[in-house]
Amino acid sequence: MKYAEVCLSVLFSPLLVSAPHLALPLEASAQVAVYDPANHAQNILQAVRALQELDNQVRQLAHEIDMIEKMARDLETLPVEVAHAIIRDRINRIEELIREAEGIGATTETVDREFEERFPLSYGEDPPAPDALLADARARWEASRAAHKQVIVLAAEARSGNIADAGALAQLVTESQDAAGNLQALQAANQINALSAQQLMQLEALLGASIRAEALETSRALAEAERGRARLSAFLGN
């Protein structure tokens, strides 16, 4: 039995309460007020227990409300969407620059056809006229120049986008640190990963353009060697 219950039981003990009444004369039964101290104490104890149970229920409800609020915060979406537009615009811009590149085409079909036309394996035993050979050399030089120009243009495009990427990343990091719940933090992390993937794609395009320019320049040198052989053959034949 708890300390409060012991105190109440002792306080309202029948012996303590009824002792004074032993010295008093008994009145008529119709006038005697019936008072049961033990029952009164029991009622008080039951009321205390009821209040304690009600307090526990209130605490449980407050705990459940707190859990629901946390779940709601976890389901809140990120208020900003900065990566999607940047990725779409940047990739579209790079693809546009690649399509606008002069010289040898960028698709597999055009590369195969135009490369064979401008970089012939051999002019054969009967080479074309010197003017035709000179025109071929000029076309190859233009293709090589255009490829190197494309590398520079893509590098400039990548550099110009660094400021926008840096601002977007800084904003996403801030949003991630201030996230109300797990969903917002996850969405911010996904956008950061998407921006990183976009930068890798941009780097891949730049690297591909650089390799293409080097390959065209090497092919031009080889074609010039074949053109020199053809001119020498024509000269000796004359």
Alpha-carbon distances of 62 from 47, 54, 67, 82, rounded to whole Å: 22, 12, 9, 38
pLDDT at 32: 56
Residue with tokens 């085409």: 105
Residues 144 and 202 in one domain: yes
pLDDT in tens, 42-64: 888 888 888 888 888 888 888 87
Does 167 lie in the same domain as 88?
A: yes
Contact between 179 and 185 under an 8 Å Cβ cutoff? The reply is yes
Do 89 and 47 sit in the same domain of this protein? no
* Signed CA dihedral, 224, 225, 227, 231: sign only: positive
108 and 29: one domain? no
**Alpha-carbon distance 151 to 134, whole Å?**
26
- Considering the domain architecture, whether residues 30 and 132 belong to the same structural domain is answered as no
Question: Which has the closest alpha carbon to 154: 101, 89, 210, 206?
Answer: 206
> Rounded to 5 degrees, what are φ and ψ at 197?
-65, -40
Residue given tokens 């051999």 in the structure block: 122
Let me know if 220 is exposed, middle or buried by CB neighbors in 10 A (0-12, 13-18, 19+). Answer: buried
Verify that 50 and 133 share a domain, yes or no. no
- State whether 41 and 107 are in the same domain: no
| Residue listed under structure tokens 């591909």 | 208
Domain boundary residue, one of 25, 43, 74: 74
Domain match, 20 and 108 both: no
Which residues form the domain of 38? 3-74
Q: Which of 31, 48, 74 lies at the terminal end of a domain, its last residue?
A: 74
Based on the structure, what is the number of domains in the chain?
2
Task: Give the whole-angstrom CA distance, residue 157 versus residue 100.
Answer: 14
Task: Assess whether 192 and 95 both reside in one domain.
Answer: yes
What gap in Å lies between CA 209 and CA 98, rounded to an integer? Answer: 8
Look at residue 19 in the predicted model and tell me its pLDDT.
45
59/116 same-domain check: no
pLDDT below 70 — which residues of the chain? Answer: 1-35, 69, 72-80, 82-83, 101-107, 179-181, 237-238
One-letter identity of residue 124: G
The reported pLDDT for the residue numbered 237 is: 66
Same-domain check for residues 213 and 99: yes
The verdict on 30 and 91 lying in the same domain is: no
The pTM assigned to this predicted structure is 0.54
Mark which of 74, 108, 124 sits at the end of a domain: 74
